[in-house]
């Protein structure tokens, strides 16, 4: 089963991962997105191991579980730190100053702006996929 794992930057600057669609609690935390994802995957593994060791039935929602990680803007730019936020903002048609505020979490981001960012990310990904080097 595939489920969403949300990655968000907390007010304290750390990152957290959680699964809003599961009844079972799986969370991860870290100073970086990578640390939080590693902690999250370790928590998921430990939960499955607990069920096996105790002989308890594994909840159906956890059988063959796969995670689709989704990022808030701050987490995205932390994990993919090689992306120049200002240049990306221009490509997405968003004011660079506003994008930097989204990145730090100091500005609310509307659903419309999230879609613009996602569309720009997917466009760039398609362009990268078509690159041929000589």
- pLDDT digit string, tens, across residues 47-71: 999 999 999 999 999 999 999 999 9
Q: Which of 52, 81, 110 is the last residue of a domain?
A: 81
Indicate if 70 and 91 belong to the same structural domain: no
Regarding whether 13 and 64 lie in a shared domain, the answer is yes
Please state the pTM of the whole predicted model.
0.81
CB within 8 Å of 42: residues ≥ 6 apart: 28
**Residue spans of alpha helices (H) in 55-110:** 73-79, 85-92, 96-104
Q: Please indicate, yes or no, whether residues 93 and 56 belong to a single structural domain of this protein.
A: no
Residues 41 and 7 in one domain: yes
**3 lies in the same domain as 45:** yes
| Tokens at 19, concatenated | 């699964």
The parent domain of residue 109 ranges over 83-134
Tell me: do 59 and 106 sit in the same domain: no
Mean pLDDT of 109-125: 94
Residue ending a domain, among 37, 56, 81, is: 81
pLDDT at 129: 95
Query: Which residue in 54, 92, 55 sits closest to 76, CA to CA?
Result: 92
Residue 89 has pLDDT above 90, yes or no: yes
Q: Does 71 share its domain with 8?
A: yes
Residues 90 and 59 reside in one and the same domain? no
Same structural domain, 13 and 46: yes
Distance CA 29, CA 68 (A): 17
What is the distance between the alpha carbons of residues 24 and 1, in angstroms, rounded to a whole number?
14
Indicate the average pLDDT of the chain. 93
Domain count, the chain: 2
Give the Cβ contact number of residue 91 at 10 Å. 14
| Same-domain check for residues 94 and 38 | no
- Contact status, residue 68 vs residue 4, Cβ threshold 8 Å: yes
Do 29 and 74 fall within a single domain?
A: yes
Residue 51, both tokens = 């069920």
Distance between first and last Cα of the chain: 41
Dihedrals phi, psi of 8, to nearest 5 degrees: -135, 150
Q: Please report where in the chains the tokens 């041929």 appear, as a residue.
A: 132
Residues 27 and 77 in one domain: yes
């Amino acid at each position: 089963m595939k489920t969403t794992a949300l990655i968000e930057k907390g007010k304290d600057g750390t990152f957290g991962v959680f699964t809003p669609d599961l009844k079972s609690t799986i969370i991860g935390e870290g100073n970086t997105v990578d640390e939080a994802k590693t902690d999250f995957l370790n928590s998921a593994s430990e939960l499955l191991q607990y069920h096996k060791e105790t002989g308890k039935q594994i909840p159906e929602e956890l059988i063959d579980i796969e995670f689709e990680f989704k990022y808030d803007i701050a987490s995205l730019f932390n994990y993919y730190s090689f992306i120049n936020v200002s240049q990306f903002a221009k490509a997405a048609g968003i004011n660079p100053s506003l994008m930097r505020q989204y990145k730090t979490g100091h500005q609310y981001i509307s659903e419309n702006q999230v879609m613009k960012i996602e569309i720009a990310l997917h466009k760039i990904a398609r362009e990268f996929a078509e690159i041929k080097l000589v």
